[in-house]
Amino acid sequence: MNKIDTDFLATLVAHIVAVARAHGDKAPSERELAEHFAVSRGQVRESLSILESMQIIERRAKSGIYLNPETAGLDSMALFARAGVPLMPRQIFEAVELRKIHEIKAAELAAMRATGDNHARLRDILDQSAAQLAKGEGLHKLDGAFHLEIVRATQNEMFYKLCQSFYAAAEQRHAIYFGKPERNAKSHAEHLQIFDALIARDAILAQALMNSHLGGAQSYWTELLEEQKAANPLIRSGA
Amino acid sequence: MNKIDTDFLATLVAHIVAVARAHGDKAPSERELAEHFAVSRGQVRESLSILESMQIIERRAKSGIYLNPETAGLDSMALFARAGVPLMPRQIFEAVELRKIHEIKAAELAAMRATGDNHARLRDILDQSAAQLAKGEGLHKLDGAFHLEIVRATQNEMFYKLCQSFYAAAEQRHAIYFGKPERNAKSHAEHLQIFDALIARDAILAQALMNSHLGGAQSYWTELLEEQKAANPLIRSGA
DNA sequence: CGCCCTGAACTGGTCATACCAAAATATTGC
DNA sequence: GCAATATTTTGGTATGACCAGTTCAGGGCG
C-alpha cells in the first residue's frame, strides 16, 4: 500500500462513512485513523488533504474531521462508488438526465466534427463489443468507452474531460445496469445504429437515436429500481 | 499561511508552471519547494497530493515530479486560473460551447421545475445587479450567480454541482468578459427577459432567450479575441 | 574517441517524534 | 446546578532519519 493510491482513499472513505454515518458527523481523529490503518499520521494527513479538496470532509482546526458527503463535488462520486457507498435512486435519475443533456448534443456535434480517428476508434470499440457479446460477457466497460468516444469526437476537449470524470463515477451504475444480459444485446444494437448515423454525418438522426437510446435507459432504470427496491444492497431507497 | 489553503496551492502551481513550462517537464523536487516556500516537506507533500489527485502533476517514485497540464481535469481549471496561467482562445470557445450545452437545457428545465425559492433568489440577484449597475460597478460575480441559480432550479443536484465547479473556474474569463462596461447593461437586460420567461414557466421562450444570450457571448468573445490578440497578457494565442 | 560500468548524489515514500495553541471535555469550587 | 478552571484531545507544523530506486557524472577500458 504505497503512495496515496485510490484504493487506500476508497478504504479510508469507507471507514469514515462507516463511523460517521450522517452529514456533519465527526470522523475518527487523524491519530486514530493512522493507528487503525497502521500507517503514519503523515500518510493519513495526505489522504485527508485530498478528501478535503474534494469537499468530502471538512477539517476544523483543533476540533476534528467532519463528514461532508452532501456538499461533495462530482469528483468525489467515483470515490464513494469505490468505497461501496450505496447509490440512491435520486442520484441515478439525476445522472441519467445529465447524460441526456450531454450526450444528445454530443451525438449531434460528433456527427458534424468526428475525424477519421474517432470513427476508427468507435469501430474498434464496436468490434470488441460484438466479440464480448458473442462470448456472452457483459460489456459495461465498452459501453462507457463508446459513449466517451462520441464526446471526444466533438473535438471539445473540455467537454471530454468533463464527461471523463463523470463516467469514472458511473461504473457502479453501469455494472448494475448491464447486470441483465438482455440489456447488452439491445444496447449494442443501438450503438451500431448511432455509429452508422455518425459515419453518415447525419446529425439529426444521431441526435434522435441517442435520445431514444438514453431514453430507454431512463425507463429501464425506473423498472429496475421498482423491482429491486430494497432487494439490491447497492441501491438504497430514500431521497 | 496555515493549512493547505487554495492560495498556497495556486502559488505552488504558479511556481511549478514557471519552472517546468512544458508538458512532461520536471518540476522542482519536494525539498527544493519546501525551502523555496519556507514550509516543511510535509506541507509540500500534502499540497502535491492534491495536485496529483487533480492530475496536474505526476509523481514518479524516486525520480521526480512532472508537470502534467494537458491531462489535468476540470477541477484543475480554477487552480490554473488562480495561478495566473494564461487562458487560451481554444479553452474559451470550448467553455462557451459547454455553457450553451448546459444552460439552454437548464433554462428549459428551470422554467418547468423552479420553486418559489428559486424565483426569489433569482429576483434577489437581479435586484443586486440593478443596484451594482446603477453604481457603475461590474457585475461579473452576479452574472455567475444568476446562471448558477438557474441550474439549481432544475432541481438536479448533480447538475448543479457540475456547473458549480465549472463556474469556479470561469471567474477569470468573466472578469475579462465584463471588462467592457457596455456588456454589463446588455447582459442584465437579457437576464431580466430570461427571468420573466422562467416566471411565466415558458420553457420554449426561456430556452430561446438563453440561446441568444449565450450566442451573443460567443460572438462577443470572437470580437474580443480578435482585437486583443497578444495585447492582453491574460490571453495567449496558440492552440 | 566512444562506450560501458560504477558509485555517489538525488529523489520520492514512509515513519517517528515533538511542540503549539485552540477546542472540547472533565473537574473543581461555589 | 452552574460557572470557573484544569486537563485532554485535536489539527497544524516542523525536524530528522532511513530506504530503495533513479540519475548522472566520472573513470576505466577497448
Evaluate if the CB of B62 falls below 7 Å from strand C.
yes
Chain centroid to CA B19: how far? Answer: 25
Q: HEC string of A32-50?
A: HHHHHHCCCHHHHHHHHHH
CA of B41 to C1' of D12 (A): 13
List the B63 CA – D26 C1' distance (angstroms): 21
Q: Which nucleotides of D are covered by protein (CB under 7 A)?
A: 9-17, 20-23
Q: Which residue of B lies nearest to A77 if distances are taken between CA atoms?
A: B158
Residue in A with minimal Cα distance to B162: A74
What is the number of residues in chain B? 239
Q: How far is the CA of A112 from the C1' of C4 (A)?
A: 56
Q: Give the closest nucleotide to A40 (alpha carbon vs C1').
A: C15
Q: How far is CA B203 from CA A221, B107, B109, B142, B162, in A?
A: 26, 7, 7, 23, 22
Measured CA to CA, the distance from residue B47 to residue A53 in angstroms comes to 10
The predicted pLDDT at position A238 comes to 45
Give CA separation, A18 vs A24, A28, A85, A86, in Å: 13, 10, 9, 12
The pLDDT value recorded for residue B78 is 87
- With CA atoms as reference, the chain B residue closest to A95 would be B158
Contacts of A162 in chain B (CB under 8 A): 74, 98, 162, 166
- C-alpha cell recorded at residue B171: 471567474
Collect all residues of chain B within an 8 Å Cβ-Cβ radius of residue A75: 73, 75, 165
- In which band, very low, low, confident or very high, does the pLDDT at A2 lie, cut at 50, 70 and 90? very low
Can you give the pLDDT at residue A74? Answer: 84
Q: Identify, with chain letter, the residue nearest to nucleotide D23 (CA–C1').
A: B63
B98 and A158 within 8 Å at the Cβ level: the answer is yes
3-state secondary structure of B87: strand
Which cell is A216 given? 430507454
Within 8 A by CB and 6+ apart from A107, the residues are A150, A194, A197, A198, A203, A206, A207, A209, A210
User: Which residue's C-alpha is at the least distance from the C1' of C22?
Assistant: A62
- Across the interface, of A102, A105, A157, the residue whose CB is closest to B94 is A157
Chain A hits for B159, Cβ within 8 Å: 94, 97-98, 101
In B54-180, alpha helices (H): 75-82, 89-113, 116-134, 140-152, 157-168, 171-177
| Least Cα separation, residue A51 to chain B (angstroms) | 9
3-state secondary structure of A87: strand
pLDDT of residue A169: 81
Distance from CA of A9 to the nearest CA of B (A): 11
Out of B2, B4, B98, the one facing A162 most closely (by C-beta) is B98
CA angle B68, B73, B76 (to 5 degrees): 80
Residue A89 scores a pLDDT above 60: yes
Distance from CA of B84 to the nearest CA of A (A): 19
Residue given cell 507533500 in the structure block: B45
A225 in Cβ contact with A177 (< 8 Å): no
Q: Which residues of chain B have pLDDT under 50?
A: 1-2, 238-239
C-alpha cell at A15: 471507514
Could you tell me if A27 and A16 are in contact, meaning their C-beta atoms sit under 8 angstroms apart?
yes
CB atoms within 10 A of CB A205: 18
A136 pLDDT more than 60: yes
Q: What is the C-alpha separation between B11 and B111, in angstroms, rounded?
A: 42
- What CA–CA distance (Å, rounded) separates A82 from A76? 10
Closest CB to A97: pick one of B95, B97, B156.
B156
Q: How many CB pairs under 8 A join A and B?
A: 86
Kind and range of the H or E element at B47? helix B41-53
Q: For A144-184, what is each residue's pLDDT tens digit?
A: 999 999 999 999 999 999 998 888 888 778 888 888 888 89
C-alpha cell at B163: 456547473
CA distance A161 to A226: 33
Among A42, A101, A161, beta carbon nearest to B102: A101
Q: Which amino acid is located at B154 in the chain?
A: T
Q: In this predicted model, which residue has the larger pLDDT, A228 or B81?
A: B81
* Selected residue of B62, B63, B94, B167 to mutate for chain A interface (largest A Cβ count, 10 A): B94
Question: Rounded to a whole number, what is the distance in Å from the CA of B106 to chain A's nearest CA?
Answer: 9
- Residues in A touching B105 (Cβ below 8 Å): 101
Mean pLDDT rounded to a whole number for chain A: 90
- Chain A residues in contact with B162 by the CB 8 A cut-off are 74, 98, 162, 166
- Cβ of A190 less than 7 A from strand D: no
Residue B213: its pLDDT value, please? 97
**Closest Cα to residue A171, out of A187, A193, A148?**
A148
pLDDT in tens, A63-82: 999 999 888 888 888 899 88
Span A20-75, pLDDT tens digits: 988 899 999 999 999 999 999 999 999 999 999 999 999 999 999 999 988 888 88
Alpha helices by DSSP H, listed for chain A, are: 6-19, 30-37, 41-53, 76-82, 89-113, 116-134, 140-152, 157-168, 171-177, 181-199, 203-228
Predicted confidence at residue B2, as pLDDT, reads 45
Contact flag A52-B4 (C-beta cutoff 8 Å) = yes
Q: Say which nucleotide is closest to residue A32, CA to C1' distance.
A: D10
pLDDT at A1 over 50: no
Three-class secondary structure of residue A64 per DSSP: strand
